[in-house]
Every structure is written in C-alpha cells, then in structure tokens.
Chains A and B, each alone.
Chain A
Amino acid sequence: MLVDPSSRQLEDALARRAQGSGMVEATGLHPAADELERMLALSEELATLPGPAPHPGARVRVRNQFIEGVASHRAAWVHGHQLKVRPSRHRLPTHRLRWTFVLAIALLLAVVAGSGLALASQVADPDSPFYPVKIRTESLLEWLSRGPTARAGVRLQVANQRFRESESMAAKGDSRLAIKTLSAYYDELRVSGRELAGAKRDAGWDQVRDQFDKAEAKPVDIIIIQLRARNRPDGVKRALALQAAFNEDRKVIDPLLKKKAAPGRPAGPQPLPSGAPAAGGAPPPAQPVAPTP
C-alpha cells in the first residue's frame, strides 16, 4: 500500500528536482517516497505538454481579430468613460437649507457690493465713473423726502456737494466741470430757496433756513483763485458771472426767507432776475464777492 506524501513533502521534492537532483535524492527515504516519485514523474510529463511555437498564420489571424476588437472597445471606452463626481466632504444638510444658504450668501454679497458702491459714489468727483450713481442717489433721496422743508434740506445738502466738487475740479484745473458744478450749486440753492419760501414756518423750517444761510455763504473766491492760478480766464469769467447772477437772485429770495414773515406780504412766486423760477420779494443788499485780481 502506497503512503500519500504531504503537500509540503511534494513541494520540497519538486524544488529539489528542479535544482537538478536525481529522483531518489529528490524523494528521499521515507514511507511516501514511492508515491512521491510517481507524482514527480507525472508533473514532469505535464511539463512536456506545451506545444511548439504557433504557426505565423495563426498569429496573424488572431492578431488581426484582436486589433479589430481594440478599435471598437476604444470607441466604447471613450464614450462611456466619465469621471466620477465625488461628493463633497462638507455636505450641506438638506436641499432647502442649501438654497437658503445660497440666497443668504447672495444677499450678503449684494449688500456688501451695494454699500461699497454707495460709499464710492458719495466721494466721487464729476470725473469719476461712479459719479452718475451719486447723482441717481441724490435724486432718490429727494424723491423720498416728504414736504417742502425736507426737500429744501436735501437740496441744500446737494448744493454743498456741488460746491465741494467745484472746488475739487478747480483745483485740478478742469474749468469746464468746475463751472458746471458751480452752476449746479447755485441752481440747487435757488430751488431750495423756492421750497423754503412756500413751506410752513416751524422749528424744522428755522433749522433748514439756517442751513441755507451757511450754504449760500460758501466762499466762491476759492474756486476763482484756483482757476486763476491754473490760467483758466474763461472759467474765472463764467464763475464771476454765475456769482453775480445769484447775487441778483438773492435780492428776491432772501426777503422771502425771513424767519418772521411780514404781514400782508404776497406769498406767491415771483420771477428771479436770473430767470430761474423762484418766489419774489424785496431783495436784501447783495454781499459783494471780491475775487482776487
């Protein structure tokens, strides 16, 4: 009766045989040697089974079919191969909250952008690209104000802005924009005066009236000096003309803006000497402007 060798005995015997040992040496002297020898012989018979090299024709035929298959597989791979979209590590909790989050971020960005734009426009000069935004904002403020006193207050703020801009433009030597903004300054003062003349006298009116006095007392000579220094004679001439025209108008405006209205004084509008629409009345003595020669 043959004794079966263990798998390790068989592997060791195979290894020794592969190293060139004879059959007896490879199998050793133990009860399973006979069976081991037969198994080694069988494994060597199996090793003789591989055939000769393939015929060149067979290689060409198989190769051609293989290459044909490659083309179709490549096309399918290119069309079907897509990168997997990996889920975010920090996933938002729910769909609804996700949109809320997006809207909140959008709103925040809008507020920040809007605030920045508003701030930029408020300090913008007439030669700035943000200047139209500033003008639109002023129009909106005027539209939002209720009552002639409030509107007059807004107009005075706008007039102050125009004066500051005119100073700035004159300092830069831009006589065209300096005159344009100076003209707008006087126009705003006239409109403000008209609003105040038709408004009800109360504590608010007195306050705005004081602001009017401060606004119209702005030193225009500074603008004229700047224009002269930058050799802008036309600008100087037009600034003086604007100043003179407004001084003429003040003769009509100022009496209408007395804090205690004279009894029996007509309240209706009267034409201004400059031609601008305003209320009329006896003009106070004009404050002379003494531009530097």
Chain B
Amino acid sequence: MAEVSSSPTVTRDAPAPPVESEQELIVRAQRYEAEALAELFEANFDDLYRYVYGRVGDHTSAEELARQVFVRALDGLPRFRRFETGFAPWLYRIANSLLVKQSRSETAPETAPSEASAAARLRVGLRALTPEQQEVLSLRFIAGLPASTVAGATGQRLSHVLAIQQRGLLALRRWLAPEAGDAG
C-alpha cells in the first residue's frame, strides 16, 4: 500500500444546510426564470467543475461534462424535489449518471495500469466499481459530503450508504493492490 498521508482532511467541511433562499431560488428556477438559473449556475459551477475534474482528470473532459450536467439539469429541473439536501448533490448525481453511461461503452481494465500516476489509477479503479459504489465514494470523498447527505441525496438509508461505502473502498483497495489483501 502506498504511504499513508498524514493529512486528516478525509472529509471536508460539510456544506451549509440549504437555506430557504436556495429553496426559493430553485423554485424560481423551476419556472425557468433566467436570473434564478444564472444565480444557481454561479453558485455551483466551480464546485461541480472540480468534482467532475476529479472524476475525469482533464480540463477538456471536465468542461464538456460540466456542460452536459447543466443541460441535463435544465431538462430535469421541474422534477427536482430534494430541497432538503440541496442543489449541488443533485448536480453531482447527474454527473455520476453521465459518467456511468460513458463507462458502459468502455471496457474497464481488470488491474491497475502500473505506469499511470496514482490519481489516474484511482480514477480508473473507480470506474471498475459498481455504479452504486462509484456514486457513494465520489459523493463521500471527492465531493466531501457527509454520509447523511449522501443518503438524503440518493434516497437510501444511512446504513445502506455506509455498507456501500465500506464495500466500495475494499473493492477499490483490492483492485489497486491485489497482492496487499494476502500480505497478512
């Protein structure tokens, strides 16, 4: 296993709970009011871009993916109901959905490419997981959301999210270093 970082910042500060003003903004955005949508864009674009960059690893793909996410969000806005978890997790989930769709057309390698950088190996390893595991690990560690928020955003019980998180991390760890599991 690679040397463990001493940084304790596994989970970033939890995003502020959605205040009423964001809910009002979303309601206005659901009527496609340009000002509300522009405000939502400005408030979420940077975080979304960094999140999708974390998944794809290059600026061109990140920009294209962010664009697709906002296009999808426009289509799905009238159906948005998860006000309690906020707008950003919803955007992240759209990005996950698009990435899973893309990865279905690709064949994930069975083992990690040895010559790639650690970050690239992690991204490839993530794509080798199940869609559920990809989503939970990405929301939890790349987006830095608390487990309870992930549960709210995905509509699952907290215990189920924790179980997916545990199985996903184990699977990713074993995919990255299969020999470490038998080292004992």
Whether B100 is near chain A, meaning CB under 8 Å from some CB there, is: no
Residues of chain A within 8 A (CB-CB) of B7 are 44
Contacts A66-B74, A77-B32 given; indicate if A42 touches B119 (C-beta within 8 A).
no
CB of A74 closer than 8 Å to a CB of B: yes
Nearest-CB distance from A34 to chain B (Å)?
Answer: 9
Residue contact B170 to A58, C-beta cutoff 8 Å: no
Task: State whether A18 touches B10 (Cβ < 8 A).
Answer: yes
Residue B27 at the chain A interface, CB threshold 8 Å: no
A17: chain B residues within 8 A (beta carbon): 8, 10
Residue among B5, B10, B59 making CB contact with A58, cutoff 8 Å: B59
Closest A residue, CB atoms, query B75:
A73
CB distance from A139 to the nearest CB of B (A): 64
The answer to the question of A40 belonging to the interface, with a C-beta cut-off of 8 Å to chain B, is yes
A288 at the interface (CB under 8 A from B): no
Size of the B side of the interface (Cβ < 8 Å), in residues, is 67
| Residues in chain A near residue B81, CB distance under 8 A | none
Question: How near does chain B come to A234, taking the closest CB pair, in angstroms?
Answer: 77
Q: Which residue of A lies closest to B29 (CB)?
A: A70
Q: B interface, by DSSP: helix, strand, loop or mixed?
A: helix
Using C-beta atoms within 8 Å of the partner chain, give the interface range for chain A: 35 or more
List residues of chain B with CB within 8 A of the CB of A20. Answer: 8
Shortest beta-carbon distance, B45 to chain A, in Å? 6
Identify the closest chain A residue to B46 (Cβ).
A53
CA of A261 to CA of B94 in the docked complex: distance in angstroms? 112
Known A40-B4, A43-B10: A54·B62 in contact at CB below 8 Å = yes
Which candidate, B15-23, B82-90, B104-112, B175-183, is the interface stretch facing chain A? B175-183
Q: Is the CB of A10 within 8 A of B51?
A: no
B54/A50 in contact, CB under 8 A: yes
Question: Is B38 an interface position by the 8 A CB rule?
Answer: yes
Q: Are B62 and A7 in contact (CB under 8 A)?
A: no
A59 — which chain B residues lie within 8 A by C-beta? Answer: 45-46, 49
Tell me the A63-122 residues at the B interface (CB within 8 Å). 63, 65-67, 69-71, 73-74, 77
Whether A49 lies near B32 (C-beta < 8 A) is no
Task: Check: B9 CB closer than 8 A to any chain A CB.
Answer: yes
Residues 123-146 of chain B, each 1 if its beta carbon lies under 8 Å from chain A, else 0: 100100000000001101111100
Contact indicator A46/B1 (Cβ below 8 Å): no
A18 and B11 form a contact (CB under 8 A):
yes
What's the Cα separation between A153 and B33 when bound, in Å?
79
Known: A51-B54, A77-B32. A2 touches B181 (CB 8 A): yes
- Contact status B183-A2, CB under 8 Å: yes
User: What sequence of 0s and 1s flags, for each residue 52-71 of chain B, a beta carbon within 8 Å of any chain A beta carbon?
Assistant: 01110101001100110011
Pick the residue among A6, A21, A38, A63 that contacts B166 (CB under 8 A).
A6
A43 touches B141 (CB 8 A): yes
Instruction: Decide: A42 near B176, CB < 8 A? Known: A47-B141, A51-B54, A62-B70.
Output: yes
Contacts of A44 in B (CB 8 A): 4-5, 7, 9-10, 141
Given contacts A2-B184, A17-B8, A50-B50, 4 further A-B contacts (CB under 8 A): A7-B162, A49-B119, A49-B142, A53-B46
Interface pairs A-B: 7 shortest CB-CB:
A51-B53, A49-B54, A46-B141, A74-B32, A7-B166, A41-B4, A50-B54
